[in-house]
Structure 1
Amino acid sequence: MTETRIDEETNSSIYVLLTDTGTWFTRMIKLFTGAPYNHASLALDVNLKNIYSFGRKRANNPLIAGFVKENVYTGTFRYFPNTRCVLLKITLSEKQHAELLQYIREFEKNKENYRYNLIGLLGVLLELNIEPTDSYFCSQFVAEAMRSSGINLWERPSAQVTPHDFLKHEQMQIVYEGLLYDYPKLDRKKLIRISNLRTSAILLRKRVI
C-alpha cells in the first residue's frame, strides 16, 4: 500500500472540501438541508491529491458506499464537470497532524470493514445520534477524524455534524469557492484530458443518479 504523506512543518494545514455535484442523491439531501454543499471530504494537501471521505464506491450507485480515497480526475467528480465546491483550511500543530495521519492510515488499512451510515443521515434530520459500529457518513467521518487528533470543533457528537457546519465554523478559513475544475491548484494537463472526455462523461451521467 502506498503510504499517505503530508508536509511535516511544525504547524500544518488540512483542508475540508465541500462539494455539490448535483446528483439526484445530493439534490434530495438539499431539499431537507437547504445548504449549498452536502458532501464533505478531508483533504491532506492544498493540491487535492489526498482526499478521503465516506461516499459512493461506484459512480452510478450511491447505495454501494463506504470509506473512499477520492480522486478529482478519475473518480465520480469527472462525471460532473460543473461540480461546485468550497475549500476550507484549518491549521494543526505537528502532534495533531501526526495523529490525524495515523487515523487515516488505520482507515486505509481496514477500509473493507467500514460501511456508509445511511441511517445516520436520518438521525441528523431528527436530531438523533445514530452511530452504528464502523459506519460513517461524510461529515461525520471528517468531524471524527479531527476529533481524534484533538480538534474538537463542536460539543455535539460527530454524527450530528453536517457539511454546512464546517462552512459556518469560525476556525475554518475559505481558500477557494467556485467550480471544482476551475480550482487553480489542479493539474491542468489532467483537466485537459477530462475535457476531451466530457462528451463521454455526459453520456455516462445519464446512468448516474
Structure 2
Amino acid sequence: MSKEYEVYVLLTDTGTLLTKTIKWFTKDPLNHASIAFDRELTEVYSFGRKNPQNPFFAGFVKEDMSGEFFRHATCAVYCCKVTSKEYYNIRNQILHMELNHEQYKYNLIGMFGLLLNIQIKRDHAYFCSQFVASVFETSGVQLVNKSCLFATPGDLINDTHLQLIYAGKLRPYVLPTKLPFKRIITA
C-alpha cells in the first residue's frame, strides 16, 4: 500500500484593489490561490506579487503568510491527500520553478483571456489559480473539470479531492499564539 501525503491549497483575499477587481469579475469570495506543503503554511508557493507594494511586478513566488501583505487576509485552507508519486511530481515541478524563477512570469494576458473566454497559453507564465490547477493536473490530480487556462479560485474549492480544514482570518491561523484557540473545521 502506498503512503499518502498531504498537500494544501490555500485561497486568500487580501482586500487590495487588484483583488477586489478580480473578485468583481470572478464572483469568488477568495481570489488568490497557492500551494502549501505543510498545514502551518510555512512553505507556500504561487504566482503573485514579487514585491508586495507593486502588483505589476509579479511571477513565481514563495509567499510569507505571516508577512505584512497578508496581515488582514481572509482564507480557506484545503487538504489534498495524494500518492507518493503525485506528491513528488508536485514537489519537483515547484522545485524546478523555484530554481528557474527568473524564467517565470505572471500571466496577465491569460487572465484577460479568462475574462473574455479565450484560451491564451503562454510558456512559463501562469496566474495563481492556473498555476495550482496545472501543477496538480500535471502530477495526476485533476482539480478542475475544465482547461487549467480557465481555472478560477472558486473552481478549485468544488473538487472532491480537497477537504476544507480551516476558514477565517489568516493571521490567527498562521500565528496561533496570538489567540487562545484556532477555529479548525474537521470532518
Cα offset, 1:89, TM superposition: 1.1
* More displaced 10-residue stretch of structure 1: 165-174 or 138-147: 165-174
The 5-angstrom pairing of residues 61-80 of structure 1 reads 61-74=54-67, 78-80=68-70
Aligned equivalent of 2:31: 38
Aligned equivalent of 1:154: 144
**Normalization by structure 1: what TM-score?**
0.80
- One-letter identity of the residue aligned with 1:126: L
* Aligned partner of 1:97 among 76, 82, 87: 87
Cα offset, 1:128, TM superposition: 1.5
Structure showing greater radius of gyration is: 1
**Normalization by structure 2: what TM-score?**
0.89
Aligned equivalent of 2:135: 145
- One-letter identity of the residue aligned with 1:146: F
- Tell me: CA distance 1:90–1:80, structure 2 relative to 1, closer, same or farther (3 Å): closer
* Aligned partner of 1:169 among 159, 168, 171: 159
Aligned equivalent of 2:106: 116
* Aligned partner of 1:82 among 72, 97, 109: 72
Contact between 2:58 and 2:105, CA under 8 Å: does it hold in 1?
yes
Tell me the alpha carbon deviations over residues 150-192 of structure 1, each in whole angstroms, 9 at most, x when there is no partner: 1123342211111111112222110100000121xx3456x69
Q: Where does the alignment leave 5 or more consecutive residues of structure 1 unmatched?
A: 1-8, 193-209
* Aligned partner of 2:49 among 38, 51, 56: 56
Task: State the percentage of identical aligned residues.
Answer: 40
Tell me the alpha carbon deviations over residues 110-134 of structure 1, each in whole angstroms, 9 at most, x when there is no partner: 0000000001111111222111111
Contact between 2:109 and 2:120, CA under 8 Å: does it hold in 1?
yes
- One-letter identity of the residue aligned with 1:61: N
* Aligned partner of 1:128 among 107, 118, 121: 118
* Aligned partner of 2:22 among 23, 29, 33: 29
Q: Where does the alignment leave 5 or more consecutive residues of structure 2 unmatched?
A: 180-187
In the alignment, the residues of structure 1 paired with residue 107 and residue 146 of structure 2 have an alpha-carbon distance, to the nearest angstrom, of 17
Give SS of 1:168's match: coil
- Tell me: CA distance 1:46–1:80, structure 2 relative to 1, closer, same or farther (3 Å): closer
Contact between 2:70 and 2:170, CA under 8 Å: does it hold in 1?
no
How many pairs are equivalent?
178
CA RMSD of aligned residues (A): 1.7
Note if 1:10 corresponds to 2:3. Answer: yes
Give SS of 1:140's match: helix
Contact between 2:43 and 2:62, CA under 8 Å: does it hold in 1?
yes
